[in-house]
Amino acid sequence: MLKHKYKETEEIRKLLNEIEALKIVFETIKPLPHVEENIRRESILKSAVYSARIEGNPLRLEDIKTGSISPSSKNISQLEVFNLHRAHNFVYSKDAPKKMNLQLIKDLHHLVMKNISTNAGNFRTDPWGIFNPAGITVYLAPAHFNIPKLMSEYITLIKNCKNNTPVKSAISQFMFEKIHPFADGNGRVGRLISSHIMNQEGYGFRGLVSMEETIDKNREAYYAALEPSTDVNPFVVFFLASFVTQTKEVLNKLSEKREELPEDSLLPRRREILEIIKDHPYCSFDFVSRRFSAVNIKTLHYDLKKLQVDGFIIKVGKTRGVVYKVK
């Protein structure tokens, strides 16, 4: 039977009040559609990269920011980020179910582990434990034959939880980790579950807040907060504090922009190409392509053509002597 201990403390109340205040500020800032879309793209990409890094993936944000990740990648690290990117986009999409249910959890796991594990979307069928580097058991997960019953109780727990949304999201993530229903990918799916709950219950902040970045920077504190068997308070505090930190960073970004610029409408890679040409007037195609070694040459030619058509840059010279500058 699922059990957890939670008590609202003064520290938690202060964090909840801060989140509510940030929510009000967030909602009063004048929306800048293209600026927000760029921040949203970066936030979801950060969620994917840092969620993978928390679990040991070596890729950094700069490794894939202008690179190409695809479902056909043979590099497991890149494939993991691609899968997470797709899963996080799904959570914030209109296609995501309004309420948490068992099928949604399995679907999230399938998205995360597709082409990585043959058990994608299926509960584990073996005993499972978490071990430290010395081989000592840190946590022994419930027996696999109890998982269907525990997951049914878990859905009931989420449905009947009367705590406010941020606390409910933290408790949901904590309890999911304790059940550990999958052989792999539990941490990634647990974070997606809490994001789904936050988003569906009015705390999604339009998909602009990536908590995973703060978690990755504070992994030891994150794992320590998950250690207790039933006391969820340390994790609730960590969860709320992380959310406050990331929300403040996003608000600072939004506050810096008072009006939209024409380049705010550009796709991220084209915006980056434009900035390179601004910093290096009369640069060649070879110069630009060296900065995007993972991107197909035809794709880069198309990006440059679009920047010309849209009036951001001009081409100077002909054939091999062509260079680019800002218009």
pLDDT attached to residue 143: 93
The percent helix, strand, coil of the chain (3-state, each to 5) is: 60, 5, 35
Predicted local distance difference test score (pLDDT) of residue 112? 97
Q: Which region among 12-26, 163-177, 288-302 has the lowest average model confidence (pLDDT)?
A: 288-302
Q: Do the beta carbons of residue 204 and residue 246 sit within 8 Å? A: no
Residue-wise pLDDT for 107-136, tens only, equals 999 999 999 999 999 999 998 877 766 777
- List domains and CATH numbers for the chain: 10-256 (1.10.3290.10), 262-326 (1.10.10.10)
Burial class of residue 50 in the structure, from the number of CB atoms within 10 Å of its CB (0-12 exposed, 13-18 middle, 19+ buried): buried
H/E element holding 283?
Answer: strand 283-284
- The reported pTM is 0.84
Of 55, 267, 54, 77, residue with least CA distance to 64: 77
Distance (Å) of CA 112 to CA 55, 115, 119: 13, 9, 11
Query: What pLDDT is stored for residue 214 in this prediction?
Result: 93
The answer to which of 108-117, 192-201, 281-290 has the lowest mean pLDDT is: 281-290
Report pLDDT digits (tens) over 138-160.
778 899 999 999 999 999 999 99
Mean pLDDT across 220-248: 95
pLDDT (tens digit, 9 = 90+) per residue, 164-180? 999 999 999 999 999 99
Is the per-residue pLDDT at 66 higher than 60?
no
| Span of 6-20, 37-51, 87-101 with lowest mean pLDDT | 37-51
Mean pLDDT score of the chain, rounded to an integer? 90
Bin 202: left if φ > 0, else alpha if -120 < ψ < 50, else beta: left
Distance between CA 34 and CA 29 in Å, rounded? Answer: 14
Report the range of poorest mean pLDDT among 52-56, 205-209, 267-271.
267-271
User: How many CB atoms within 10 Å of residue 110?
Assistant: 18
pLDDT at 49: 93
